[in-house]
Structures are given as structure tokens and as C-alpha cells.
């Protein structure tokens, strides 16, 4: 048994999509209708079930690979390295000043779709990399060797640096796929933990670090000189912040 209001306003009210006057009208109706409150509860239960069932199906890796191949049919060249390096150096200088002026962290979990999706994918890639035999494309603590391995595989100059003296030993690097494109990953070792730093070129402005966590993994993301970095690990956020500082100092 449904009343007229159920047909015209109930769904919009439930979804918070009614104008204020319509919502008020429906609320007045709710006070003396025996059907609509029950229907609202049913809707709520159904929505909860739908959400618990996790019906969302993300794109399989094979699709991302195909799109990636479609977008970049030819092998990447290193033609962009030089200008990007200069951007990077210029931005590094600016950031150094900013760092001296007092660098701020925004401990805000980014909530928009893009960032949530990105963090999710990066955490998954990191977890995947922890499986045996997947860890590194090149296993070396030598900056030059790591840079050499990436040469020709990337379209930007990779800031591969070893911070062993500061407690973050470079373990190696690999290529991974995030959002359908190749990204560089540097791996650092901390006592008991590995940290993956995902690095790719961006056109966005520099940002101060943002942090977040997902399923027991911490991530921190920042952009610097047209390069975006996202470090992820089970290690505490303070370790990630320290590594971020080492990269930007």
C-alpha cells in the first residue's frame, strides 16, 4: 500500500535531493502517514545491503594495460627528461625556501573520488609488491645503477636517491601500473618495513604532503616540480614524513 507522496517525494527525500520546501512538506506528511515511514526504513535497509554486498567491480588490470597500450603505442622516450629536470630543480629551490619558512602538513584525508581511488590503487600495488618475487625490477642500493635501470623506461628524470645514512636504505626500484599508466617505484627499507615510493610526472602545482591510511597502510602524497610522489607503507606516518622531508630537502 503506497500513498501519493511515496510516488512523488519519498525517494527524493530519502536521497536528500528535495528542495527545502518540498522536504518540509514531506516531513509534515511523515508525521501522520503510516506507510511512508515504513517504506523509508525498507529503503534504508536495502541500501545498506547493497553497500555491504560490495557490488562495485573495479576495472581489471588487463583493461588498464590495454588502455595504456592504446594510449602509448610507442615506447616512451627520454626526450622530456631535460626540461622536466629543470622544472624539478627550479621547484626544488622554491621548495627549499618553503621548507625553511616552515613546512606544513595537511593531515587531511583526501576525500574526493580521484584521490580515494588513487590511494586505493597505490596501496593495492604496494601490497601486491610485497608478495615474493615481485619486489623489485632492480635490486640495488646504488643510485646510479637504479637510475640506469630506469633510463629509457621513463619520460622524466627520476630522483633516485639513497638515504641510508638517514635510516632509509634504497633497496631498488621497479615499474608499476597506476591508473593505466606506468609509474616508477623506489623501494626503501626501514627496520621491519618496506616503503614504496610511487613517482610519476604531473602537470599540477606543487602541494604540501597529504596523509591518509587504508587497511592498515599509511600513505603520504605530495607534488613537487611537476612530479607526484606517493609513499606507502605499514611503517608509521612519522617515517613517511621523514622520508618525504629527505626527498624535498
Partner 1 sequence: MNDLDAEDRLRFEQLVLPHADAAFNLARWLLRKREDAEEVAQEALLRACRFFRGFHGGDARAWLLQIVRNTCYTWLEKKRPMELSVEFDEELHLQTCPTPETIAIAGDDRERLSRALETLPPRFREILVLRELEGCSYKEIAAITSIPIGTVMSSLSRALRQLYSVLTNSYHKEAVREV
Q: How far apart are CA 107 and CA 241, in angstroms?
A: 11
Which residue(s) pair with 199 in the sheet?
Answer: 184, 229
The secondary element (H helix, E strand) that includes residue 221 is strand 217-224
Cell (9 digits) for 43: 529503503
Which CB sits closer to partner 1, 22 or 213?
22
Cβ–Cβ under 8 Å, residues 146 and 138: yes
Nearest CA-CA partner of 154 in 188, 223, 195, 200: 200
User: What part of residues 119-178 is at the interface with partner 1 (CB under 8 A)?
Assistant: none
User: What part of residues 24-83 is at the interface with partner 1 (CB under 8 A)?
Assistant: 42-43, 46-47, 49-60, 62-64, 66-67, 70-73
Q: Whole-number minimum distance, CB 241 to partner 1, in Å?
A: 26
Which CB sits closer to partner 1, 195 or 227?
227
Size of residue set near partner 1 by CB under 8 A: 44
Q: Is 4 in the site for partner 1 (CB under 8 A)?
A: no
Q: How many CB atoms lie within 10 A of CB 191?
A: 7
Footprint of partner 1 on this chain (CB under 8 A)? 6-8, 10-12, 15, 17, 42-43, 46-47, 49-60, 62-64, 66-67, 70-73, 113-114, 117-118, 179-181, 201-204
Amino acid at each position: 500500500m503506497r500513498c501519493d507522496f511515496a510516488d512523488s517525494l519519498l525517494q527524493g527525500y530519502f536521497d536528500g535531493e528535495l528542495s527545502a520546501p518540498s522536504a518540509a512538506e514531506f516531513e509534515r506528511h511523515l508525521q501522520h502517514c503510516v506507510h511512508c515511514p515504513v517504506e523509508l526504513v525498507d529503503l534504508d535497509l536495502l541500501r545498506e545491503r547493497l553497500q555491504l554486498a560490495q557490488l562495485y567491480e573495479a576495472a581489471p588490470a588487463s583493461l588498464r594495460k590495454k588502455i595504456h597500450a592504446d594510449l602509448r603505442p610507442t615506447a616512451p622516450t627520454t626526450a622530456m627528461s631535460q626540461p622536466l629536470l629543470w622544472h624539478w630543480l627550479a621547484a626544488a629551490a622554491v621548495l627549499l625556501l618553503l621548507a625553511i619558512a616552515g613546512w606544513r602538513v595537511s593531515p587531511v584525508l583526501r576525500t574526493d573520488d580521484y584521490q580515494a581511488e588513487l590511494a586505493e590503487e597505490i596501496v593495492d600495488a604496494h601490497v601486491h609488491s610485497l608478495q615474493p618475487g615481485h619486489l623489485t625490477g632492480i635490486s640495488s642500493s646504488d643510485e646510479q645503477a637504479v637510475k640506469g635501470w630506469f633510463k629509457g623506461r621513463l619520460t622524466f628524470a627520476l630522483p633516485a636517491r639513497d638515504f641510508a645514512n638517514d635510516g632509509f636504505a634504497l633497496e631498488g626500484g621497479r615499474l608499476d601500473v597506476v591508473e593505466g599508466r606506468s609509474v616508477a617505484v623506489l623501494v626503501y627499507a626501514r627496520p621491519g618495513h618496506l616503503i614504496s615510493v610511487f613517482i610519476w610526472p604531473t602537470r599540477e602545482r606543487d602541494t604540501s604532503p597529504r596523509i591518509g591510511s587504508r587497511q592498515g597502510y599509511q600513505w603520504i602524497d605530495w607534488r613537487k616540480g611537476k612530479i607526484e610522489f606517493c609513499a606507502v607503507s605499514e611503517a608509521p606516518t612519522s617515517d613517511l614524513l621523514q622520508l618525504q622531508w629527505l626527498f624535498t630537502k
